[in-house]
Amino acid sequence: MSMRVAVIGQGYVGLPLALEAAKAGFQVTGIETDQSRLDSIKNFRPTIENIASEDVKTLISSQMYKPLNELPQSFQPDIICVCVPTPLNEFRKPDLSYLREAIIQNCTGIKPGTLIIIESTIQPGATREVVLPLIERVSGLVQNEFLLAFSPERVDPMNRHWNLNNTPKLVAGISPKASELAKFFYSKFIDEVFICSSVEIAEFSKLLENSFRLINISFINEMAILCNQLDIDISEVIQAASSKPYGFMPFYPSLGAGGHCIPVDPLYLKDRAQRVGVPTAMIDLADQINRDMPKYYVNQAEIKLNGLNEKRILVIGVAYKPNVSDTRETSASYLIQGLRDKGAQVFWHDELVMEWNGEKSVDLSNNYDLAILTSVHDSIDLKKLSAVPILNTRNKI
């Protein structure tokens, strides 16, 4: 009998993981509490762009993958992967409430020897200090009676080169046995799996990766503002600098980094640093620049139109990046609010999102005073704007 796996959360991280594990021969139950998302999976219409409907249909039909809203009492998993969101709360502090609830709901009554793998992003030390005692409390087992590991997700939706299978995977267990079993599991469908010497190193690595990205995205956005002031094309500057074969990595301007990782993970690292009295000046500055980018483009729109009151403005793309429908932490939200605060009539177009914040996507047309390009999906036909002036947040303004 194949090993039984429960994947908690069937979003951008959990659904690809569940499907790949099922393809590798594991008996997988995917748990999703969002009924709309669960229904879309059961009807073979996953809302995640790089998931093939035919794969979902085949795996559900073969009963290798079962999407459910809760873990059946009769299903005793050998491995539980927790892939739930760990966002920021209203005070921009780490919010582990979804993670805690997932553990309470799915780790109660686990059998001895069960491996629990946390893929949700957390602060360094949280696996050992928060997750471990919670599992002990709800399961009634002590540390040496179950296995616990951390393995940071490295999902980049719609990346055409790097995916779950060929992106190297990090794992670390509270015990060597947990590390080895986690590596065994992931190695069945991921090309390279590396064991870190401690869960803290694995936890920190995820935060380091995305703090690096936030800092460099904020830096290039600051350089884009300077280039605009000097009437220099930032895209040509980046292209020229990229000709150097060492010591430079290209990043590209935007309205500001969004999504569930880049603008969030560095603040998990900052929170941990504050608790041990270490300053995070680079993260603080990068975070501030990132949050200020929508204000900058509101100001640019105001200059371009000689005022915004009663002007009709179309924002193209409310997803946090091109070619996905994910709107988490999207900078477009702050752009739209900033424009409306100045009296503008703001509409938005995004055929991958369609409905968002109680509003609906409008059609592309020439009936606007200005179009602001934020996340332009490959399928968008900008020629429909005709002679509408354009403010491009991803290239020369």
Given 107, 196, 227, 261, the catalytic residue: 261
261 noted as active-site residue:
yes
* Cα torsion angle, 134, 137, 143, 149, sign: negative
**254 touches 293 (CB < 8 A):** yes
Q: What are phi and psi of 347, to 5 degrees?
A: -125, 165
Distance (Å, whole) CA 241 – CA 105? 51
**207 touches 121 (CB < 8 A):** yes
Residue numbers annotated as active site: 261
